[in-house]
Structure 1
Amino acid sequence: MNFFERQRQVRRLSTRLVLLFVLAVIGIVVVVNVAAIIAFNATDADPAQLAGFVAMVTVATVAAIGLAALVRTLALRGGGGKVARELGGVPVPADTTDPELRRLRNVVEEMALASGVPVPEVYVLPEETAINAFAAGWGPSDAAVAVTRGALQRLNRDELQGVIAHEFAHVVNGDMRLNIRLMGLLFGILFLTVIGRGMARFGLISGAGRQRSSNSGGGGVNPLALVGLALLVAGYVGVLAGRLIQASVSRQREYLADASAVQYTRQTRGIAGALKKIGGLSDGSELKSPKRDEVGHMLFGEAARASWFATHPPLADRIRVLEPSFDPAELQRLSRQWAAAPPSGRQEDVALGLAPAGPAAPGQGVPPQAASGAAARPGAPGLPVAGTRVRLAPTEVLRRVAAPTENAYSHAAALLDQIPGPLLDRARNRETAVPLLLGLLLSAEPEVRQHQYAALAERHGRDLADAAIGQAQALAGLHPMLVLPLAELTFPALRARSAPEVEALLAAVFTLIHADGAINVSEYCLSRLLLAEIQELLRPDSRWRTDRRTLTDARSAAGFLLATLAQVGHAEPADAERAFQAGIGTLLPGSTVAYAPPENGVLALETAWPVLDGLRPADKERLVAAVVAVISHDGMMTVAEIELLRTICGLLHCPLPPMAGAGIG
């Protein structure tokens, strides 16, 4: 199952989620109506009055559920960081020197680069001693990854890497959007219990008061109390339905994420070891947070003790899929062993050679690159020269979308090693990340860069323009394969800035794109990708469906893209037309489309991206194949062309990892 097939599966799960939610609401409405009819003695009413009464109760019930779900969903528009903070999460500083936190940040950074997505926010849940983790957000640009303190303390680096890889599988597979939608819908269902509890309490109190004040000692039961009790019952019916929905939606996704984690890390011992520690330690994966049930479906392990409505497959089954020879009795042995001496992830790292021996002194944390494992990688391989040419077929690219190869993770770590330390520091720093990002986007052509500088100074101030030029000079000679990773590393620092500051950055990036229209296609696509990611960071797209267009709808936009790529990639018009037709043949077999490069160059694509990004998964798969066919018309691709391809895939939300294993890197 490749990335595009997984996207189709997520769409089917979304449809199932809506269907189950509707069925749950219908069941709740029936219970509430029956209780209301009994409570208000409406059984003797004439049919018309009864129908009106039922309609009124139905509308009120559905409105309460829908409004609560809407309010909760809107409250989650803050992205993954909002969810992490609600569970008591604390952000992990980008410049932390704590060994455990530094190890976590670097594992996350390496996994992000290996996956081809922006580096997410990183949180730790300091009050949770169990082993657990989750990824949350509407998309990769506003994602957050959180782990418990227990996971940091008990897991070694391989195990932590396996857990983080599992969570990144949820990030790139589109599960996060489904999960956060599920949180909103479940809140709507459970909201009735809140209303019911209040109505029942008020009704019982007022009924008791009337009874005490009545000379006859009568008064009966307050109908509000009956309705309130009915709402409580309906709410608990909703709880049952919610658990069933969680289990239905999430169980198979966990198996898929486990398999993806193995694909990411190319070893099973890490994620299997983490699962064994969950089974062998008394705390397991159980969270203390009162919100644990609401987020249970998005966690790495069960949030509570196993039940009939478990959101995850049985632990032993998950381990056995990874290690077919696993004997569940091993968990009992490990439990006895760890009861006396719980495992220490740091000590295991030392034993495995993944960390230096001896504890770090307070305030003397592990340097960022050393903590990432660079100490264990002396002499990382050099990067290929920009003109290196490799053979890369469309089918090979499609196979690699959101599916890092066996070398991608180590290749990402090696890329981090080869980014100069001062640049890494600037990318991770809240104050310097913006000038660095703008410096990355300045054109390499002196004349174009001067136009950009003038536009930036005029619209956003000379101080920012000077800072961007200074960073651009420091970036001179940066290898093409390091540009996109360095840009993605700035995202945690950008998230730390206020909304007005991010809006100003958006405007600055837009200014650079439109300074004079003379930037080349690689510079334009990188700028456009980062512009889109910053927009999504600021205003996450929470629509149910974003992939509704067909190739028929996108025919003109796709033609613009393929013609632009053909024109910039080939000096001779005849060669460019042949490359274009190769792309059209892949995209629209049997169709005849005239080769007509847009007159205003890359800026013609400004209106094309929303259309192309909205394609259905199957059509987007064909579009990516067509783009590869144009760029590699001669059967070969340079390093610069591969990085351009990665940027375009990013614009289409088809994350393409660094092409380690393609004959380069």
Structure 2
Amino acid sequence: MDFFERQRQVKRMSFRLILLYVLAVLAIVIVVDLAVAFALGAFEAPAAELAWLMFWTSVLTGGSILLASLFRTIGLRAGGGKVARDLGGVLVPEDTTDLRLRRLRNVVEEVALASGVPVPEVYVLEDEQGINAFAAGWSPADAAIAVTRGALDRLNRDELQGVIAHEFSHVLNGDMRINIRLIGLLFGILFLAIVGRTFLYAGAFGGGRDRRDNQGSNPLPLIGIALIVAGSVGVFAGRLIQASVSRQREYLADASAVQFTRQTSGLAGALKKIGGLETGSRLTSPKIDEVGHMLFGEARLRSLFATHPPLADRIRALEPGFDPAELTALAARWRDAPPSGLAEDAAMGLAGPEHGGALPHHETRLPVNPGAVAASVGTPQQPAYRRAESILEQFPPEVLARARRGDTAPVLLFGLLLSEQPEVRDSQLAVLRERHGDAAAADALAAVGWLEGLHPLLRLPLAQLCFPALRSHPLARRQDLLGTIDALARADGRISVFEYALTRLLHRDLYEATYDSQPWPTRSQSLASCRNAIASLLAVLARAGHPDEASADRAYQVGLARILPGQQIPMTAPQHGVLALDGAWPLLDGLAPKDKSLLIQAVVAVIAEDGTMTVPEQELTRTICGMLHCPLPPLTT
């Protein structure tokens, strides 16, 4: 199943979720209607009065549920970090020196680079000793990954990598948005139980002597009991909904993690430690029922409507010869001496990532396999992970450290944009002095020295490593930085492919992290309605990778035939070069998943017409996929 098919499945899952929610609300409304009518003796009243009572009871009950769901959903608009903090999560500092936390951040960065998605915020649930994790957020741009202290302490690097890859599959598959919506919907369903307890308390314990004198006519306790019963119906419905949307997705996420890391031992080892350790995957937070469906492992010991498949079945899917009795043996071995992840790393020689090899010479045109590039969208394979390791290995440690910090990441971005032409650089430095002072200009010049010799293929990955650090700044500061970066890119009166890629991907990342929506209105589009936008995109791409008019036109026609066969649209030189793409994104992002798949194939066909890929073509392809929300792993040689 490819990325685009999974996107179609997510849309169908969203429809099923809404349907189940509506049915649950209807069941609760009926229970409350009947209980209130019984408590008030309305069944003996005229039919018109009974109908009127049940109408308003239905409106109040349904309205309360919907408002509670809406309230909780709005409260989650702050992104995945909000969910992690609600559960007691502590943000892992970018420059942490703690070995376990550094290992965690390294693994998350590697998997993010290999997946082609922004590096998420990373949290640790310090008070949780069970082995568990989750990914939360509305989109990859505002995602957060949280792991428990138990996972940090007990899992070795391979096992931690398997768990993180599992969670990233939820990011790539679009499960996160469903999960976070489900939190809001479940809160509304469970809300009546809270109101019922309040009514019961007010009726049973409030009012003193007046309560005793009027005990027989006080309907509050009965209404409270009815609401608690309705809340129990909500709990039942909520568990059913959680189970219905979670179990098969966990199998898919396990399979995706194995496909990603190309080894089953890490993920299977993590699951075995859950089964063999006393703490398992259990969590102690009182809010855990809200998020049970989005966790790596079952948070409670229960079998009815479990949100995850049985542990033994998950392990057996990874290791067909697995014997569940092995968990009993592991439990006996670890009862007095629980495993240490760092000690296992040292014993296995997993002190750091393997080298993936040096990048080619700056001017080399890389061979390209069209089928492999198109198939890799949203479906990272093991080579992509090794390439991510290689990318991180080739950055000097001091550059990586600066990219991860909120105060120094902007300086690196300024340095990446400073021109080699003295007159242009002088103009850029004047912009920095005007906007941020002399110190910022001096730091940007120093950054040029840090980045000396950096391979062009590493510029965009380094910029994307800087993006998460910029999210930590207040909104006004972020807007100021975006303005400065845009001014530096335009200082020479034109925009290169790299400058365009950096500015547009940064703006999209920060916008979506702040507002939980695309920077443009989302409307469904067809290939026919996007005809001119598609032609413009293919023309820009053809001119970026082909030096002469004839070869560019030939590549353009190959791409056009792939997505709009039989249509004759002459290639015209975009008046504003790569900036012509700005008008295309709102249209192209509205294409259906199957049409986006065709578009990516057409993009790759343009690039592959001469059998090689230049650095600008790689940067432009990554930008196209990023703006269309089709995450592209690093392109391997």
User: Which TM-score tier does this pair reach, normalised by the shorter chain?
Assistant: over 0.9
Report the counterpart of residue 331 of structure 1 in structure 2: 327
In 1, the alpha carbon distance for the partners of 2:595 and 2:359 equals: 34
Aligned to 1:491: 467
1:4 matched residue in structure 2 = 4
1:220 pairs with 2:216: yes
CA shift in 2, pair 1:238/1:547, >3 Å: farther
What's the offset of the Cα at 1:505? Answer: 2.0
Looking at structure 1, the residues matched to 178 and 483 of structure 2 have their Cα atoms a distance apart, in angstroms, of 31
Q: 1:601 to 1:452 in 2, by over 3 A?
A: farther
* Shift in alpha-carbon separation, 1:551–1:459, aligned structure 2, 3 A: farther
Counterparts of 1:424 and 1:481, CA distance in 2: 16
How far 1:567 sits from its partner (Å)? 2.5
Instruction: Report what 1:538 is aligned to.
Output: 514
Task: Determine the structure 2 residue equivalent to 1:397.
Answer: 373
Q: Secondary structure at the match of 1:284?
A: coil
Give the stretch that moved more between structures: 112-121 or 643-652. 643-652
CA–CA distance in structure 1, aligned partners of residues 166 and 530 of structure 2: 34
TM-score (norm 2): 0.95
Q: Which residue of 1 aligns with 2:96?
A: 96
2:188 alignment partner in structure 1: 188
1:244 to 216, 230, 240: 240
- Alignment-mate amino acid for residue 52 of structure 1: W
* SS of the residue 1:78 aligns to: coil
Deviation at 1:658, TM superposition (A): 1.2
Query: Does the Cα contact within 8 Å between 1:13 and 1:249 map onto a contact in 2?
Result: yes
TM-superposed CA distance for 1:354, in Å, is 1.5
2:431 is aligned with 1:431: no
Which residue in the other structure is 1:24 paired with?
24
* CA distance 1:553–1:36, change in 2 (3 Å): farther
1:179 paired residue number: 179
Structure 2 counterparts to residues 473-552 of structure 1, below 5 A = 473-515=449-491, 517-541=493-517, 548-552=524-528
How far 1:559 sits from its partner (Å)? 2.1
Instruction: Report the alpha carbon displacement of residue 512 of structure 1 after superposing the two structures with TM.
Output: 4.0
Matches within 5 A, 1:147-546: 147-206=147-206, 209-212=209-212, 214=213, 219-355=215-351, 373-374=352-353, 377=354, 381-442=357-418, 449=425, 452-455=428-431, 457-458=433-434, 463-515=439-491, 517-541=493-517
Q: Deviations over 1:219-277 (max 9, x none)?
A: 41422222222111111111111111111111111111101111111100000000001
| Cα displacement (A) at 1:547 | 7.0
User: Do residues 594 (structure 1) and 594 (structure 2) align?
Assistant: no
Are the counterparts in 1 of residues 162 and 258 from structure 2 also a CA contact under 8 Å? yes
1:369-407 superposed Cα distances (whole Å, 9 cap, x missing partner): xxxx14xx4x65211113333442432212111222222
Conserved in 2, the CA contact under 8 Å of 1:135 and 1:144?
A: yes
* Farther off after superposition, 24-33 or 220-229: 220-229
Deviation of the 1:210 alpha carbon: 2.9
**Counterpart in 2 of 1:626?**
602
Deviating more after overlay: 500-509 vs 15-24: 500-509
Q: How many residues align?
A: 636
SS in 2 for 1:478: coil
**Partner SS state of residue 596, structure 2:** helix
List runs of 5+ in structure 1 lacking aligned partners. Answer: 356-372
Q: For residues 231 and 518 of structure 2, what CA distance do their matches in structure 1 show?
A: 26
Aligned mates of 1:63, 1:451 — CA distance in 2? 59
- Using structure 1 for the length normalisation, give the TM-score: 0.91
CA distance in 2, matches of 1:196, 1:542: 40
C-alpha displacement at 1:450, in angstroms? Answer: 5.1
CA distance in 2, matches of 1:514, 1:194: 57
How far apart in 1 are the matches of 2:211 and 2:88?
A: 46
Give the match for residue 115 of structure 1. 115
Does the CA contact (< 8 Å) of 1:129 and 1:149 recur in 2? yes
Match of 1:228, as an amino acid? G
SS of match in other structure, 2:123: strand
User: CA 1:237 to 1:449, structure 2 compared with 1: closer, same or farther past 3 Å?
Assistant: farther
Output the CA distance in 2 between the equivalents of 1:29 and 1:207: 29
Partner of 2:628: 652
Which has the higher mean CA deviation after the structures are superposed, 618-627 or 445-454? 445-454
Which amino acid in structure 2 is aligned with residue 107 of structure 1? V
Tell me, in whole angstroms, the C-alpha distance in 2 between the residues paired with 1:443 and 1:555.
36
Q: Which is further off, 62-71 or 595-604?
A: 595-604
Supply the RMSD in Å over aligned alpha carbons.
2.2
CA deviation string 1:64-85 (max 9, x = no partner): 1111111111111111111111
The match for 1:366 is: none
Query: Matches of 2:301 and 2:451 in 1, distance apart?
Result: 52
Provide the rounded CA distance (Å) in 1 between the counterparts of 2:24 and 2:413: 48
- Residue 593 of structure 1 aligns to a residue whose secondary structure is coil
> 2:508–2:518: 8 Å Cα contact kept in structure 1?
no
* Structure 2: unaligned runs, 5 residues or longer: none
Q: For the Cα contact (< 8 Å) 1:547–1:617, is it kept in 2?
A: no
Distance 1:9 1:53, change over 3 A: same
Closer/same/farther in 2, CA of residues 461 and 602 from structure 1, 3 Å limit: farther
Quick check: 1:243–1:309 contact (8 Å CA) kept in 2? Answer: yes
| CA displacement at 1:287 relative to structure 2 | 0.1
* Per-residue deviation, 1:342: 1.4
* Shift of residue 513, structure 1, vs aligned partner: 4.8
Deviation at 1:462, TM superposition (A): 5.5
> What's the CA shift for 1:46?
3.5
Conserved 8 A contact 1:402-1:654:
yes
**Structure 2 SS opposite 1:145:** strand
Structure 2 counterpart of 1:334, one-letter code = L
Q: Which amino acid aligns with 2:238?
A: G
Q: Secondary structure at the match of 2:525?
A: coil
State the Cα deviation string for residues 605-656 of structure 1 (Å, max 9, x = none): 2222222223221111111111112222223213442243223212221111
Preserved CA contact (<8 Å) 1:121 1:144: yes
- What corresponds to 1:61 in structure 2? 61
Q: CA deviation at 1:299?
A: 0.6
More divergent stretch after superposition (515-524 vs 228-237): 515-524
For residues 450 and 350 of structure 2, the distance between their equivalents in structure 1, rounded to whole angstroms, comes to 32
Counterpart AA for 2:319: E
Task: Give the Cα separation in 1 of the matches to 2:64 and 2:298.
Answer: 30
Note if contact 2:415-2:445 (Cα within 8 Å) is conserved in structure 1: yes
- Alpha-carbon deviation of 1:473? 5.0
Question: What is the SS of the residue equivalent to 1:306?
Answer: coil
Provide, for residues 504-556 of structure 1, a one-character-per-residue CA deviation record: whole Å limited to 9, x for no partner: 2233334345556511223212321111111112222299x957332233223
8 Å contact 1:207–1:221 — kept in the other structure? no
Closer, same or farther in 2 for the Cα pair 1:50/1:72, shift >3 Å? Answer: same
- What letter matches 2:267 in structure 1? I
Q: Is the 8 A contact 2:558 2:606 kept in 1?
A: yes
For the 8 Å contact 2:122–2:144, the answer to whether it is kept is yes
Contact (CA 8 Å) 2:88, 2:125: kept in 1 or not? yes
- Identify which of 522, 529, 536 aligns with 1:560: 536
SS of 2:134's equivalent?
Answer: strand
